[in-house]
Amino acid sequence: MAKYRQNRINDAVKEEMAQILRDVKDPRISGALVSITAADVSADLKFAKIYFSVIGAEKEEVLKALKNAQGFFRSELAKRINLRITPALTFEYDGSAEYGANISKILSGLDIKPYDEDEENEENDD
């Protein structure tokens, strides 16, 4: 399968999963800010890893809720995307947003003077 087709399928699954996630009535999911960050569908279309991030809830609880609703997600995905085979879904936590926020916090805590071009030009004139 061509790489561009694989990327299109991954993007389509990601977008549809984000839409389906809005329709879930489980309070563990709807009560938190859960977003789908990526989807990785295997080349044979049998399996898909769905990566998610969470704000405002415990990731373990959200993961349990997502696993409980796997059948719902798969059936909705089959209705919305025209694929030969609807992939079996597995969910994995994506900690990149949390990691990025931590890096930003560390960088904002550093005491670094802003770069001033005028000072550098004065030093070069001497």
pLDDT in tens, the chain (126 residues): 578 888 999 999 999 999 999 888 888 888 888 889 999 999 999 999 999 998 878 889 989 999 999 999 999 999 999 888 899 999 999 888 778 888 988 988 887 777 766 666 665 655
* CATH assignment at residue 68: 3.30.300.20
114 belongs to a structural domain: no
73 belongs to a structural domain: yes
When divided into structural domains, the chain yields a total of 1
pLDDT at 92: 94
pLDDT at 40: 95
Q: Who's near 97: CB < 8 A, 6+ residues apart?
A: 37, 53, 55
CA angle 54, 88, 3 (to 5 degrees): 85
121 belongs to a structural domain: no
28 belongs to a structural domain: yes
42 belongs to a structural domain: yes
120 belongs to a structural domain: no
Structural domain boundaries, residue 25: 3-95
Q: Sort 110 into a burial class: Cβ within 10 Å, 0-12 / 13-18 / 19+.
A: exposed
Question: What is this structure's pTM?
Answer: 0.76
